[in-house]
A and B are shown apart, each in its own frame.
Chain A
Amino acid sequence: MPTHNNAKTVGETVQAIRVGLLKYFPRERVVIVNADGGSKDSTREVIAAASINDLQRSSELYALRTLHCISTIYGDDPATEVALRTILAAAELLRAKACAIVSPESTNVTPDWIEHLLRPVYRDDFDLVTPLYRRHKFDGLLLRNLVYPMTRALYAKRLREPYAVEFAFSGRLGSHLLEQQVWDHGAGGVGTEMRVTLAAMAGAFRLGQTFLGTKQHLDRSSADLVPAMRQTVGTLFSSLEPNFQLWSTNHATEPIPTFGAEHDLTVEPIRVNRRRLYQQFGSGVAELEPVLKSILSPQTLAEVQGIAKLTEDDFRFSHELWVRTAYEFAASYYKSVINRDHIIQALAPLYRGKVYTFLLENRDASGQEVEANVEALCLTFERLKPYLLDLWNA
């Protein structure tokens, strides 16, 4: 468990992990490893104070083995990359057969999560198990409108959550990751979780996904669009160059073995300021014209500028235009036509336009209809993959 100033939530999370381990893996040798990025609050004290006796008093759990909990500080600055590497190194030293990463910012971790994540790795020899969450139909829109469809089209794996803050991996994958140069990818240490998933997809590893339930996060960083795009889209774009041989030759997408529901969308009404998204798209396209000129082809730019002139009611960012836009951004990122971080930032206003269309089209849609819409987008990404290859080789 990587932590940094998580005293508010970490106590309950640690207890849930302990209960999960004792309940589902009572005979196994287990250890909880906490890699802390120099917390200024009482995170480490809370973890150390979470005693096994508390559990035994309040439940019917009995430990057959000693349950160790190790907490270490890897530095004064929080860095997920260093935290994960620390945990991976510890897992390798301990020759762990299976290892699960749990985000301390998840506020609703239950003991079942530990079982759902670890069992496929421990019992069924999977190498990476990523989570599936019950989400609102308008939650995780960057994943659904760009990261998942593009990853699926290029890596030919239908993995729903390529950016997972909770996941489990085998000792084999852990050792492979430690040997790989996934830790310094020129992305400033962001998007490490995504790089782990992409490395597993690029290698010959068994992938699985498991349904965990509702996702409730206190993850403040994920609320901001540009950092979220750096973590996911930036990482995906940067992975394309070293994995060119893989994604340029694979074709049919493979389904991933799934434990539990593949998708579970809730549709209760929520307040969304659609107009603001529309305005941000319009002003972004107008203001960023000189930047977009160096990234997009003249035809795509003209089409984007064309839809920016439409009224709110007529506005529609089609799947095809969005896919061409994303692919042209990926090719420009590869060719470094301008600073790579600037390319990612320039994509944010266009993404807002796509989100506006998504919200408008799925305003009254059921969960199945939303899924059908996402599937149509995925198929467009797959159909236009040769377009990315043409851009790449041009």
Chain B
Amino acid sequence: MHESEVNMWEMIVGELNHAMQELARNFAHLLPRLLATLIVALLGWVIAYALKVVVRGILRIAKFDKLSDNAGATQILNKLALPSSSELLSRVVFWVVLLGFILLGVQVLEIVGLQEYISRFFLYLPRLFVALFIIFFGLVAANFFSRAALLAAVNADSPSPGLLATLIRTIIVIFAVTMAFEQLGLAERTILIAFAIAFGALMLGLAIAFGMGGRDLAKQFLERRFLKEKEDQKQDELSPL
């Protein structure tokens, strides 16, 4: 009895020793990789920070904030209590680069199943940038064309220039957002169908409004456009030059 107890105790101690040795071996095996991960992350932070400074400098030289003002993006950012466009973009670059390096570092740890997700992330990055690019230039285009329409309508003395400008801005923004979502691969079909329905409904609504509800208005508009305007022009004998 006494001998068996001694054997059991020796077995427990042996197993514990074995476990400790295994743990120490695993830890010794993991430690360099962990250190490598930390070094990669640290290096990533340095590179990301340097890139952030460079991108911010380039954007300031290129007067990106002014372009953003013109595009109307600054107003949206102010409403959301976000920093300026150049600051925001440089921060995005910082976090994307840092995250990329952290994921690279994690890859060194050789955690099963994680590598696939990491490679997916890297494959997704270009699409994210293209989507951001589409959104930004969509806003620029929406602002430019809506302002051009507003000015042309005001100078042509057309009715409801503000409504026309808003309509043009909305259509371009919806179009850009749809393209961006499609690029990101998020609910592609849903977004496309929603866009088609919204756009179709808008056009149908306008057609019905002009054809049915606004029949008299359309008549007045056409009369004013082609008859009264000529009459007015005859009255105005002023030549600017």
Interface residues of A, Cβ cutoff 8 Å to B? 138-143, 163, 217, 219, 222-223, 225-226, 228-229, 231-232, 270-273, 276, 280, 283-284, 287-288, 291, 294, 337-339, 342, 345-346, 348-349, 355
Which one of A140, A232, A337, A348 lies within 8 Å of B239 (CB-CB)? A140
Question: With the chains together, A231 CA to B155 CA distance in Å?
Answer: 16
Question: With the chains together, A355 CA to B240 CA distance in Å?
Answer: 10
Q: Is B119 an interface residue (CB 8 A)?
A: no
Contact B154 A349 (CB under 8 A): yes
Given A225-B155, A284-B154, 16 further pairs, Cβ under 8 A: A139-B238, A142-B240, A163-B241, A219-B241, A222-B241, A223-B240, A225-B240, A271-B236, A272-B235, A273-B235, A276-B236, A291-B150, A338-B70, A338-B147, A339-B144, A349-B155
Interface bracket on B: 20 to 34
Interface of B is mostly: helix
Determine the chain B residues whose CB is within 8 A of the CB of A337 once the complex forms: 66, 70
Which one of A228, A338, A342 lies within 8 Å of B241 (CB-CB)? A228
Contact B150 A287 (CB under 8 A): yes
Contact B236 A273 (CB under 8 A): yes
Contact A141 B238 (CB under 8 A): yes
Question: With the chains together, A283 CA to B158 CA distance in Å?
Answer: 10
Q: Is B151 an interface residue (CB 8 A)?
A: yes
Q: Mark B141-173, 1 if CB is under 8 A from A, else 0.
A: 000100110111111010001100000000000
Question: With the chains together, A271 CA to B231 CA distance in Å?
Answer: 12
Contact B151 A291 (CB under 8 A): yes
Question: With the chains together, A239 CA to B29 CA distance in Å?
Answer: 73
Chain B nearest Cβ from A304, distance in angstroms: 14
Q: Is B232 an interface residue (CB 8 A)?
A: yes
Contact B238 A342 (CB under 8 A): no
Q: Is B116 an interface residue (CB 8 A)?
A: no
Contact B239 A139 (CB under 8 A): yes
Determine the chain B residues whose CB is within 8 A of the CB of A222 once the complex forms: 239-241
Question: With the chains together, A271 CA to B237 CA distance in Å?
Answer: 7
Determine the chain A residues whose CB is within 8 A of the CB of B157 once the complex forms: 276, 280, 283
- Contact A140:B154 (CB < 8 A) given known A273-B235, A276-B232, A342-B148: no
Chain A nearest Cβ from B117, distance in angstroms: 45
Q: Name 19 A/B residue pairs within 8 A (Cβ), A-sorted.
A: A141-B239, A143-B240, A225-B240, A228-B241, A231-B241, A272-B235, A273-B235, A284-B154, A284-B155, A287-B150, A291-B150, A338-B70, A339-B147, A342-B147, A342-B151, A348-B155, A349-B154, A349-B155, A355-B238
Determine the chain B residues whose CB is within 8 A of the CB of A139 once the complex forms: 238-239
Question: With the chains together, A349 CA to B234 CA distance in Å?
Answer: 20
- Return the chain A residue nearest B156 by Cβ: A226
